[in-house]
Structure 1
Amino acid sequence: MSAITDKWIKLFNNVNNSQELDTFLKNVSGKGLNEWEQLYNDYDESKNLLIEEALEQCEWILYIPQQRLKTRINWLDLYKPLCYKYVQKIYSIVETKNYISDKQTFIESIEEYFFDICMNISYRTVVLEINDLRRNSKLLGESREDRYKYYIDILLRDKEYIVDFYKRYPMLYEVLDQKLKNISFYIQEILNNLEDDIQDIQNYFKVSDLQLFKINFNAGDTHSKGKTVCILNFKDKDIVYKPRNMILDVNLKLFAEEFEKTFGISDTLFIPKTLIKKGYSYVEMIEIQECSTLEDVKIYFENMGKILAFLHLFGAKDYHGENVLASGRFPYLIDNETILHFSENEKINTSVHKMYDFVANSVYSTGILPMTLYSINNNKGMEIGALNSGARRESPYLTHKLSNVGTDEIRIEKVFKEVGSFPSTVRYEGENISCSNYLPQVQQGFEEIYRIFVDNKSVISKMIKKYFNNCETRYIYRNTNIYVQLLETSHHPELLKNRYDFEMYFLRLYEYGDISNEFDSKMIHDEINQLKNDDVPIFYSDSSNNNISNGVKEYILSLEGESIVEKILNRIKIASTSNLVRQKRIINMSFMGTELFVKNIEPLKRKDFGRELFVKRLLSSRFEHDGEISWLAMLAMDKNYDISPMKYDLYSGTAGILLGINSLEIKELEELFSGVMKYTVNYIKDFSSDITYQNIGAFTGIYGYLYALCVLKESNKDISLEIETFIFETIFRTKDIVSNLDNLDIIGGISGILGVLLKVNSTFKGNLDILNLTDKLMKLIVQRLLKIYAEEGSWISEDPGYAHGNYGVIVQLYKYSLSLSTDSNIRKMIIQCVQDYLRKEREELDHNRVLKIRKNAKYYSWCNGIVGIVKAKHYLLINGLSDKLLSEEVEYYSKDILTNGLNLDNSICHGNVGNLVILDSILPVQTNQFENAIHQESNQYLLEKMTYETDDWGVLTGEMGILMANYKAGRKCLNELLLLN
C-alpha cells in the first residue's frame, strides 16, 4: 500500500484497506484508486509551474495595503499577490459609479474584507509555517519577538519565499484565489444592480438621496459562488441586500395583511419591507430597539406566541434566536427561507415512530421555543431558542484562537468563545429580559392564532393557496453546522498541499448518505462542488412541485410525496382543540426543561375533580399505532431537555404504567394493558438492544422492567412473553456491565439491581438456571458493597438518603441477608454494617434530631430526604433488625413528616402525595385520614397540571403515580415498588 493510499484511508470512517477505497472511489467518482493516485502525482509535478505563472507579475510587490490593517493582520505581504489583482478590479469598477460618495473609503472596506478572508482561511498554515521555521532555526533574532519580526519584515517581503510558500501549499493559493474571484464578481453584480435600481429604491424606501458609503459583508456564510447577505451602508439609511428573489417574504406580508383584515386582529406577522428584483432583493434594515414600557414587553411575548402558532402550522424550521429581531414590541422575522419547509414523509411503523414524528412536526421544532444546543463531549450547553433567558452565552464547542501572537511561538488554542445575545432577546431600560416571566403571554398569543385556524380552516386554506403556491423556499438537506465544520477542517495545511488530498477529504460526505439512492448521490455530488468553492452548500425547493435545485438554480431532482403547500393544508385540516392542548404542553415543557419556568399565574379555581379525571387525562393523552399504546415524556437535566416517546423504565416509563394499571383494576385502563405491553416489548426489542450503564438500573433501566415482569407474573397477568427466557438472557448479557458498574444507589446502580435480582429469585424459585445466575451476581454485588463499607465507612459520601444514598443500599443489603441462614457470616457482616451505620448516624445528631441529608435536597421527600430514610428504618424494624431505638425513631420522624412535611410539590418521588403514601404504610392511624389528605393534595396537583399542562404520565413524578395513591391497592403497589419488594 502506498503512502498516499494510507493517508487517504485515514480520512474515512468506513474504509479500511486499499481494495475498499478503490471500490468506494469508483462508486462515487467513477475513477479507481490508481487513477486518483496518478492525478495526485501529476499535480505534484505541475503545481510549481502553476504557482510561478500566477506570481510572475511583479506589480503586487509594489502594492501597499492600507496601514491600519497591519494591526489586525500581520501577514499582509503574504496575501498581496492575491488581493492586489482583485482590489484593482474593484477599483476600476468603483471609478465608474457616481452614487458611491467616498470611493477611497469604499475601496478600503473591500480591501479589508479581502484580507480578512485570506487570514481566516490560511491562519492554520501560517502558524504551522512559522513554527516549522523556528524549529529549523531559519528565523533570525535574539528573542522570540525578534524572530517573529524577522518573518514579517524580511521573509514575507521576499518574493522568492512567497512563491516557495505557495508552491508547498498550492491548494491554499487556489482556494483563496477562487474565493476572492467569486466575491469580486459578486461585488460587481451588486454595484451594477444598484446602479440600475437607484430610482426604484428611492421610491420604495422613500429615500431622497442614496449615496453608498460601503458594503458590510459580515452578515452570513457565502453561498452560490461567494454570494452572501450584505448590508448596504448609505449615507442616511442602511438597506439589506439579499442575493435571491424574496417573493416569499412579500407574500408573507400580504398574507398577514389579509389575515388581519379577515379576522379583525392586528400584529400577526412582522416582515420587513422588501423590494424584489430578478434573482435578488432589497430589504428594509430593522434596527434592534428596546421596549418603551413593561406593557410593551408583555405585548412582545404575546406577539412571539402568535408567530409561534403561524410557524407551527406552516411547518417552519430553524427560527432560532438569530432569525428573529426584537424591535420594540415587534418580533420581526428576518430570515424566512425555511418558513415553508419541505420534509420527506416518514413511514410510520410503530408508536415510537408516530410520537417522534409528532414531536418533529410540533412547536418544538420551530426553533422559537427555549432550547439548548448541548455538547456531550464538552458537557456544556448554550441557549439557541428565539425565546431565551437573555443571559450571557458561551459556545459549547471549542473554537480556535491565536495565542503568543507577535512571537515565533505563535500557536492555535482551543477556547470556548463568548457569544453575544440574540437579536430576538427583548430589552428594557438597558437590560435583557428573560422570557421566564412571560409564558402566559406566549401561550395567550399562540392560542389566539391557533383557534382562528381551527375555526376557519376553509378560509385560511384558500389564503394559503393564494399566496404560497409556486414559491421558492430553502430545502435543508444537511445541518449548516456540518458544512461549516467541513469547510474549516478543509483548511488544514495537510489538505492544502495537493488538490487531490483536498478533494478526497470532501468525498467523506458520501459516507453520510446512501450512494445507491439517486437523490442522495446527486445531492452529495452537488454539495461537494459547492464546498470546493469554499461555500456553504444551499438548496431550494418549489412549494408546489418538490423540484430541488441548487443555489445557482441548477435542477437536481424532484422528490416524491406531498408538496409543501399540500402539507400545510393537511396541518390546517388536522388542527384541533385536542392538538392545541398537546402543543401547549410542549410549550410549557420547553420552559421547564430550560429552567425558565416560573409559576406566575393563578391556578384554576379550586374544585373537586375526583379520581376519574386522572383516568380521562391518561386516556386522552395516549398515542396509539398498530395495537401499541404509549405517551410522550420529557427528560431534563442542566437546562437541556428532550421530548420523546416514553421509555420502558419504572421511574417515568411504561414499566411503571403497567404496574399501575395492574394494581388499580380500573376497566378503562385495563383495556390499555395489552397495548402498553406490546409497545414496551417492541421498544426494548428495537431501541435497547445495546444496554449500557446508563439504561440498566432498577428504576431507570432494563432491570426495572424485569421487576415489573416479576410483579405481573405473580399477578397471573397474561403478557404473551416468554418471561423466564427473557429474564435469563437479559441478566446473562448484562452481568459484566453490572459487575463493573460504579453507581451504587438503587435508582440506577447495583443496590437497585440487587433488589431486582432478589425479586427475580423469589418469583422464579423453580428455575435453576435463573437461580444459579442470580445467586452468582448477587454474591458479587454484596461482596463489593461490604468491601466498600469496610474501607470507607459508608457507601455514598455525604448522602444518607434512600434513592441515591446509603439507606437505599442498606435496605437491599438487609433484604439479601434475610435470604441467608442465621449463622451465615455474610448475614452477620451485613447486620454489623447496618448497625454500625445507625450508630454513627446517631452520634452525629444534635438535640434537634435533624437528620443530615445531601446538599440542596428536599428534607421532606422520599428520594433524598427523611421520608425515604424513615421508610428504610421502618423496613428494618418490621423485618427484625435487632435495634432498640428504631421503633421510637420511626414514630418520631413519621410524626415530624406528618406535621411539617408538606411542600410545594405533589409527586410520589419528592412531594406531598408520596410522603402521605409512605406514612400510610407506617403510622397506625385511621386510613380515612390519609385518604382525605391524599385526595386534597391530588386535587391540588391536578389543578396545577391543568394550569400548566405537561406530558408527565409516569409513576414516580407523573399522573399515574398520583392516581395510584388514591386507591388502597395502588398505595400498596407504590410502597412495594419503592422498596423493590
Structure 2
Amino acid sequence: MRLTEEQKNKIAFQAAFLDERLAGKVEYFQKEISKKQEQRLLQWQKNASGRGGEKSFLQRLKMEEISMEQALIAASDSDGRYLGKLPYYISTLDEMLESFPCVRNNIVGDKVIENEVLVSLMPFLKYAEKHLLEKLGDNAALFTEEALANMTSILENVLIQIFSQVWEERFRLFVLRQESMSFLMAMNAENASRYRGIFADHLLGGGWLEVFTEYPLLGRLMTVYLNYWLENMNALIMHFYQDKEQIAASFNNGVETGKIQSLKGNMGDAHNKGRSVILIGFSSGLSLVYKPRSLEVDVLFIRLIKKLYEEGFPYKLKAPNTISFDDHGWSEFITHIPLNSLEEAREYYKNIGASFALVYVLGGNDFHAENLITSGADPILIDLETIFSYQVTLFNEEIRELAQSLKTNGKVIGSVLSQGILPVWYPVSKDVWLDLGALTGEHHQSVPVMDGKKVPAKEYSCELLEGFKNTYKFFLKNREQFSKEWLETIFINKAQVRFLMRGTRVYALMLHKLTSPRFLKDGFLYSTEIERFAAPYFLGVKEEKSKYLWPIFLSERKAMEERDIPMFFGNVQETGIWDHNDGLLAEEFFESSAIERVLDRITSLSEKDMLLQTELIEESLYIRYRTTHRLEDSYSKEETFNPLTASSISKENLIEEAEALYNDFLLKAISENLENNIGLSYHHNLRNQVINIAPLNLYFYDGFLGISLFFSALYKITKKQEIKESALKGVFLLRESLKNKEYPLPVGRLPLGMGHGVAGIVQVLSLMEDYLEEPELLQDALFLLEKLTPEIIKNEDKVDWFNGIAGLLHASVNIYKRTKNSTALRIADLCGKELINRKATKLLHHGHMVKHVSIDKSFEKTTGLADQSGILYPLAKWLELSSNNEIETILKDGLNSEIELIHAVADQNNSVATSLCGGLSGMGIVQALLLGLPDYKERESSLETIKLVLSTLSNKSLELEDHLCCGKLGRVEFLLQASFATCNPSISDKALEILQNIINSKNEKGYYEILGKNKTMLWNPSFFQGISGIGYMMLRTARPEIIQSIFS
C-alpha cells in the first residue's frame, strides 16, 4: 500500500505548521472568507492574547510583521495544496505504508501482546528496527539482543503516547459503524476486548491509510520522531564506541565494560530532537547513566565539593562520578539504599540539611523527588543542571510599578522553598494535587526508608536543621575566602546551567493535550494552541524589548512542534540565554551571571537570614500534613460550645485589641512601610486542601487588600490619622498601576472572584471609601469595572463567590446601588446572565468543604459561601434590579434546596460542617442577608431556617481555628447577621462570647490559632484565614452599626 501523489500533498498541506503557512508554503483553493475561517482566527487570538483581546493580538502579530489579512489567510479552513518540494517525512511515511496490508500473526508471531494499540504499531516498529540495524552496521555487535529490543521499546513508548487518543476515538467510531450507541455505552469488558482486537486487525489490514489522511499531524509526528530515534540510537553507540576506554578507566577500574546488555529509556523529558536520559547496563555488571548533553556542570559540582573539603566543610557530601564531553556525558548510576539504623537516619538528615544549605548558597532549584536519591545515609543530588540559577531582567512594564513588592517575592523565589526539596505541589488533575518534594513526596527513591517504612522528615527536623545551620554558618564564617578568584578556580570551563522558563510539567501537559484528535487533524490548530505561551513575551513589554525576547517563544513553539520539552541555558559566566540548539536567543537576559549570583548570595548571608530560612523549613514541614479544613481537629461529636471562663470582655476591649493588632502589624508584618515588603502568608488552595507559603498578593483572600480594609475600619472608629495613612499606603501601588496609562494593571488577565480577583478589589475599594471618606477610592473601583468586557467575563471558568463570576456579580450590584453607575449595572447583567446560562447553582452543589467532609461519612453534606450559598445571594441582589421571571424561578429552586439541606442536616445526629465557607454558618448568613432585601418573598421560611441554624450550632463545638473562612469568626459573622435579621440583640451577645473565647485563649497561649493547635512561625496577616480578618471582626462585633459585613 502506497500513498498517491494527491494524498501525499494533502497530508503535507494539512500538517503544515503556522510558520510554514505564513511563509507561503501552502496555497488555499477557496479565496472567499468563510465564517469558520473567522472563528479559527478568533481562537488563535484568544490563545495568543492572554485575555487581552484584539489589541493584544495585534501586538503579537507585530512580533513577526504579520498583517491581520495574512493571519486570516493562514487561518483558512479551505482545501489547498503544499507548494514546492514535499517535506522529508512524507517519503518516510510512504515507505512505512509499504508494510501494509499485513496479518497479525506475521507481525506479532508467538508474542502475547495484550495492548492492541501496540499491536497496531508493530509494522512501524519493525520498519524502525530494520533501518536501525542498517545504520549500526558492524557496531550492532556491541549490543545484546535484549539491548536492541530495549531500544525499540524506547520508540514504542513514544509512539503509543502520540497515537493513543486517536486510536481510542477511531475505535469508538469503528464500533459504532457496526453496533448501536447503546451497545457502545454499555459495552462490557469481553466485548471491548473482542472489538479492540478486531479494530487492530482492521488497521493492520490497511486502515492506517484512512487514519493518516484524517489525522495528518499523526503521520508527521510519528515519522519525525522515528527519524530522531534512529539518529539518537546511532549517536549513543558512536559515543560508547569513542568513549569506552575512558568509561572503563573512570567507572570500572580499567576493566572493559563488555557489551551493552540492557537499556532503559524515557527516564527524563525529551529535549533537542527526542534526546533523553538512558540507563545502560553492561555485561560486566556495570550500570551507567547516559545523558545526551554536556555534563560539565556536574563535573564542576564535584570540583566544588572537593574544594570545600579543603576549606574544612563539616559534612560528607557525595555526587555521582561523572565524565563529560561536548554533547554528551556518562554518570554513575545511584541506587536507592535503605537505612540500617536510627543512627544512620540521624546522619542522613544532617547530611540532607547540609545539602539543603549548599543548594541555597548556590541558588539551585528543581531538586524535587526525581532529582534526589537516598543511598543509605547519603542524600545524593542527581541531574545537577539547575544547581546554579539566574535572576531574569525585569522586562514587563506592567509590574515595574509593583517592583518594590518583589522584595517580599524574593523571600520565596530565592529561598529554601524554591529548591524542590520541601513540599512542591503539582496538579495531576483539577481535583488532585501531588507533592513532588524530595523530602515529603511519594517518590520512593528520594525518601529514606528503614525496615520497609518511610522515615519522615518531620520526625528528624532537629537533625535536618542542625545540618542546615552548621553549613550555613560555615559559609558565613568563611565567606571572605569564597571570593570571585576562588570561585573562578572551580568555574574553569564555561559550563551551561539550565534555566527553567516554565515548569517542565506545564510543557508536558501541553504536549499531552496536543495529542488529542482535533489537534492532530490540523497543523494550524496545533501551532496556535502552543501560542497560549506567547502572551508574556509582549503583553506589558515595550515593543523593542518584545522583539528582542520573541526568539525565545519561537524556540519554545518549534521545540513543542517537534514533541520536545523546550530547554534553555545560561553560561555560568555570562548573562545571555541559549536554546537547545546552542543558539543565542537574547543577550543580557539575566541580570547577572551564575557566578556573580553565587557571590551575591554569599555576601548577603546573615544570622537574620539563617533564622528566616530555618523557620521556613520548619513551617513548610508543619503545614505539609495540614489541610485548609481539618475536621478531625475542628469538630467533635461530643463537645458543645463552652466559652472559657476567664475575664469577660467589653466592646471597648475589642477595639483596644484590634488597635493592638494594628501596632503588631507595624512591628511584625511591615519592614518599613506598607507599600513594600508586607510579608509572607499561608496561601490556601481551597479546592484541593493544599496550603503553601507565599508572599501576600494583591487580592482580598491572601493579599494586602484585607490588611488595608482592616486598617480602614479601625480608622472609621478611632479617627487616628496615622491609621488612615497606613490604610492608603496598602493600596497605593495597586491604584498607581490602575492610573498608569502606558502599562495599566492587566485587568483582563486577572481572576474575577471576591476572594481572588477583581471583585475583591472593587469591594474593598468601595468599603474603604466609606470608612476613610476618600471619594477617589470609589472612582478607582468604577474605573476597574469599566475595564471589564463581555469576553473577559465569558472566558472566566469559575462561577463561585470566592474565585469567580458570583463574586463579581455581588461587587458590581453593590457599586450600582451606591452610585447608580451604568457600567456597574452592565457588568452585573453580564455576570448574572452568565451564571444563569451555565446553571451555576447546580454546578456547585459540592463545594470545597463538602468535597473534604465526604471523606468521612459521618459528616453531613452542606454548601456555604464557597458553594451554592455564595451564588444564591448575589443572584437575589441582582433580581432586585432585573425583575426576571427566569431568575426568580432559579433562585427559588436554589433556596428551597438550601433550606431542605439545612433541615436534613439538623435532623441528623451525625456531625455537620459549621464553617462560613462550607457549612451551616455560611448557609445561615445567606438566609439572614436575604431578609435584608426589600423585595424578598420567602421571609417566614428564612426566619425559621435561621432559628434552626442557631439551634443546631448551639449544640456544636467551636471550630478550632480563630479566623473567618472556616474558623470561629465565621460563626461570629452568622450570629451578628442573625441578630440583625431577627431583631434579637441577645444573639449578638453570643458573638461577643466567642470573641472573648478567642482573646482569652490568645492571652493564655500567646498566639491566635491560625493553623491548628500549635504556634506557627508565620504571623499570617491575610484576611480570610489570618490576623487582619480577626482584627476586622473584632471591630465589626464592637460596632456592627458602622462596620459593614463584607458579605452584604
- TM-score, normalised to structure 2's length? 0.67
Secondary structure of the corresponding residue to residue 446 of structure 2? coil
Give the AA of the match of 2:432.
K
Counterparts of residues 186-335 of structure 1 (less than 5 Å)? 186-207=232-253, 208-212=255-259, 213-235=261-283, 236-267=285-316, 269-335=317-383
Given residue 695 of structure 2, which amino acid in structure 1 is its aligned partner?
A: S
2:467 to 442, 445, 448: 445
Residues 768 and 777, structure 2, Cα contact 8 Å, conserved in 1: no
Q: How many angstroms does 1:134 deviate by? A: 5.6
Partner of 1:370: 423
Give the distance between the partners of 2:532 and 2:555, measured in 1 at CA: 14
Q: Equivalent of 1:475, from 489, 499, 507? A: 499
> Per-residue displacement from partner, 1:862-890 (whole Å, max 9, x unpaired)?
8778887688768977x89777xx86x88
The 1:768–1:57 alpha-carbon spacing in structure 2 relative to 1, beyond 3 Å, is closer
1:549 matches 2:599: no
1:92 alignment partner in structure 2? 137
1:121 paired to 2:144: no
Q: Residue 381 of structure 1 aligns with which residue? A: 433
Aligned to 1:641: 691
After superposition, the Cα gap between the structure-2 partners of 1:202 and 1:626, relative to the gap in structure 1 and judged at 3 Å, is same
1:107 matched residue in structure 2? 148
* 3-state SS of 1:468 partner: coil
Partner of residue 414, structure 1: none
Letter of the 1:243 counterpart: P
Gaps of 5+ in 1: 391-420, 600-609, 714-718, 899-911, 918-929
Task: Tell me the distance in 2 between the aligned counterparts of 1:534 and 1:381.
Answer: 25
Question: 2:414, 2:732 → 1: CA distance?
Answer: 25
Task: State the alpha-carbon separation in 1 of the partners of residues 555 and 526 from structure 2.
Answer: 16
1:712 to 772, 775, 786: 772
CA contact (8 A) 1:622 1:629 kept: yes
Cα pair distance change 1:277/1:977, threshold 3 Å = same
Measured against aligned partners, the alpha-carbon deviations of 1:512-553 in whole angstroms (never above 9, x if no partner) come to: 644973443333444444445443332322111234333343
Q: Measure the CA separation in 2 of the matches of 1:502 and 1:484.
A: 15
The alpha carbon displacement at 1:295 in A equals: 3.9
Question: In structure 2, how many angstroms separate the alpha carbons of the residues matched to 1:315 and 1:941?
Answer: 34
Q: What SS does the aligned partner of 1:312 have?
A: helix
Equivalent of residue 577 in structure 1, options 594, 607, 618: 607
Give, in whole Å, the separation in 1 of the partners of 2:821 and 2:60: 51
CA RMSD of aligned residues (A): 5.9
Structure 2: distance between partners of 1:781 and 1:497 = 47
The alignment status of 1:703 with 2:763, answered yes or no, reads yes
Task: Tell me: CA distance 1:238–1:60, structure 2 relative to 1, closer, same or farther (3 Å).
Answer: farther
- In structure 1, how many angstroms separate the alpha carbons of the residues matched to 2:377 and 2:892? 64
Higher mean C-alpha displacement, 698-707 vs 242-251: 698-707
Read off the aligned partner of 2:771 and give its amino acid letter: V
- 1:287 is displaced (CA, Å) by 0.3
- Asked if the contact 1:217/1:229 (under 8 Å) is kept, the reply is yes
CA apart distance, 1:284:
0.9
* Equivalent pair of 1:853/1:864 in contact (CA under 8 Å): no
Q: Give distance in 2, aligned partners of 1:528 and 1:615.
A: 51
Verify the 8 A CA contact 1:789 1:795 in the aligned structure 2. Answer: no
Does residue 567 of the first structure (1) align with residue 617 of the second (2)? no
| 3-state SS of 2:595 partner | helix
Secondary structure of the structure 2 residue equivalent to 1:467: coil
Matching of residues 551-950 of structure 1 within 5 Å: 551-560=580-589, 561-595=591-625, 615=663, 618-619=666-667, 621-622=669-670, 630-636=678-684, 637=686, 638-642=688-692, 643-647=694-698, 649=700, 653-659=706-712, 662=715, 672=726, 674-679=728-733, 681-682=735-736, 686=745, 692-695=752-755, 702-713=762-773, 722-723=776-777, 725=779, 780=880, 791=896, 794=899, 797=902, 798=905, 803=916, 836=944, 840=948, 851-853=954-956, 857-858=959-960, 915-917=997-999, 935-938=1003-1006, 948-950=1016-1018
Range with greater deviation from structure 2 (948-957 or 542-551): 948-957
Percent identity of paired positions between Structure 1 and Structure 2: 16
1:87 Cα offset (Å): 3.7
Assess if the C-alpha contact under 8 Å between 2:257 and 2:282 holds in 1. yes
Question: 1:355 and 2:415 equivalent?
Answer: no
Question: Match of 2:568?
Answer: 539
Deviations 1:129-175 (A, max 9, x none): 5556666679xxx988677656656862x6x7767876776664554
Structure-2 separation of matches of 1:38 and 1:322:
47
Which is further off, 311-320 or 650-659?
650-659
CA apart distance, 1:472: 1.2
Q: How does 1:402-551 map to 2 (within 5 A)?
A: 421-462=443-484, 463-468=486-491, 470-491=494-515, 513-514=537-538, 517-551=546-580
Q: Tell me which of 299, 321, 338 is aligned to 2:386.
A: 338
CA–CA distance in 2 between the matches of 1:150 and 1:827? 63
**Aligned equivalents of 1:535 and 1:692: distance in 2?**
34
Structure 1 residues 43 and 479: CA distance shift in structure 2, 3 A: farther
Corresponding residue to 1:74 among 104, 119, 125:
119
In terms of Rg, which structure is larger? Answer: 1
Alpha-carbon distance in structure 2 between the residues aligned to 1:165 and 1:726: 56
Cα drift, residue 285 of structure 1? 0.6
Cα distance change of structure 1 residues 60 and 230 upon mapping to structure 2, 3 Å threshold = farther
- Give the whole-Å Cα distance in 1 for the aligned partners of 2:809 and 2:201: 69
Instruction: From the superposition, tell whether residues 661 and 337 of structure 1 become closer, same or farther in structure 2 (CA, over 3 Å).
Output: farther
Q: Give the C-alpha shift of residue 344 in structure 1.
A: 1.3
Query: In the TM superposition, what is the alpha-carbon distance from 1:859 to its structure 2 partner?
Result: 10
CA distance in 2, matches of 1:853, 1:725: 44
Aligned twin of 1:179? 225
- Per the TM alignment, residue 238 of structure 1 is displaced from its structure 2 partner at its CA by 0.9
The one-letter amino acid of 2:151's match is I
Q: Kindly tell me: are residues 127 and 291 of structure 1, through their superposed partners in 2, closer, same or farther at Cα, counting changes over 3 Å?
A: same
Q: Measure how far apart 1:427 and its partner are.
A: 1.7
1:210 partner amino acid: T
Deviation per residue, 1:618-652 (Å, 9 max, x gap): 43542568955633322223342351325464897
Which residue identity lines up with residue 549 of structure 1 in the other structure? W
How far apart are 1:274 and its partner, in Å?
1.0
Contact 1:659 1:712 in 2 (8 A): yes
User: In structure 2, what residue type is equivalent to 1:202?
Assistant: A
1:255–1:667 CA distance, 2 compared to 1 (3 A): farther
Alpha-carbon shift at residue 367 of structure 1 (Å)? 1.9
The CA distance in 2 between the partners of 1:58 and 1:778, in whole Å, is 64
Residues 578 and 702 (structure 1 numbering): CA distance in 2 closer, same or farther, change over 3 Å?
A: farther
Instruction: For residue 272 of structure 1, report the CA deviation from its aligned partner.
Output: 1.0
2:709 and 2:767 in contact (8 A); partners too: no
State which drifts further: 208-217 or 652-661.
Answer: 652-661
Assess, with a 3 A threshold, how the Cα gap between structure 1 residues 658 and 577 changes in structure 2: closer, same or farther.
farther
Which residue is equivalent to 2:82?
A: 40
Q: What count of residue pairs does the alignment treat as equivalent? A: 867
Change (3 A) 1:313 1:537: same
Write the distance in 2 (CA, Å) between the matches of 1:970 and 1:596.
29
Letter in 1 for 2:439: L
> Partner letter of residue 676 of structure 1?
G
Shift in Å, 1:230: 0.8
Q: Secondary structure at the match of 2:439?
A: coil
Aligned amino acid, residue 654 of structure 1: I
Which consecutive residues of structure 2, in runs of 5 or more, have no partner in the other structure?
1-27, 47-53, 180-189, 631-656, 740-744, 829-873, 906-911
